[in-house]
Amino acid sequence: MVGKVYLIGAGPGDPELLTLKAHRLLTTAEVVLYDRLVGQEIIDLIPETAEKMYVGKAKSMHSLPQDELNALIAAKAKENKIVVRLKGGDPFIFGRGGEELEELIQESVPFEVVPGVTAAAGCAAYAGIPLTHRDYAQSVRFLTGHLKDGTTDLPWEELVHPAQTLVIYMGLTGLEETSASLIKFGMSPTMPVAVVEKGTTKNQRVFTSTIGSVYELAVKNEVKSPALLIIGEVVSLQEKLEWYGKY
């Protein structure tokens, strides 16, 4: 017999951002495979009776290659178990969820996707930064700072656009190159930027700067991953909105 796989987005860290469905499935799972971006408080919700498997990845340090992980998820389901594949954020936004589902389809394993709060929405909200605002930005673009081949070769000309907010996942990767490239293609060196480290968690830190100075700021403050980069005029609202949001 074959069980079922639930591909669940755990959100950016705060356990209260889990959806009701995600919480229900997680607390009744028989096998849970989770990555390094899942917050400890969420991991603590996994039942003691469940088999917990850490399959986390850091840049250039994969505990389990993706193809082997895909096969492992399918194999666990084929043991007639309810399997939860728990991912930080949302599984379909830079989470490689599509690759894992392709394997399940190939192996005829039933599955269901439970979306989660993506890091861009969660971290921006907790930092007091509206990603869109009628006076500052009418569009928002999600990017990853770490491409499949390890480069940061992004479509720079398209990114330097007025009234647009950029959100770069894994933003510390190639931060110096990202900053220099955006300026080279026309972005003002004074464009506001925020770096959100460990967003939505108790250890969240938010630093604001400009695109011309953000690399030095990150180095000075020893910012560590996971960190999200938010670039755009909306960042100028951060100090006011975050302060008032605490009261």
Ranges of beta strands (E only) in the chain are 4-9, 31-34, 51-54, 57-58, 61-62, 82-87, 111-114, 139-144, 164-169, 192-197, 205-210, 227-231
d(CA 9, CA 200): 15
d(CA 117, CA 119): 7
**155 contacts: CB under 8 Å, gap ≥ 6:** none
Is the torsion defined by CA of 158, 159, 165, 170 positive or negative? positive
Which DSSP letter does residue 186 get? T
d(CA 133, CA 84): 37
User: Which sequence positions are flagged as catalytic?
Assistant: 35, 57
Tokens 């190159």 locate to 177
- At 177 the three-state DSSP class reads helix
Contact 200, 173 (CB under 8 A): no
d(CA 239, CA 127): 9
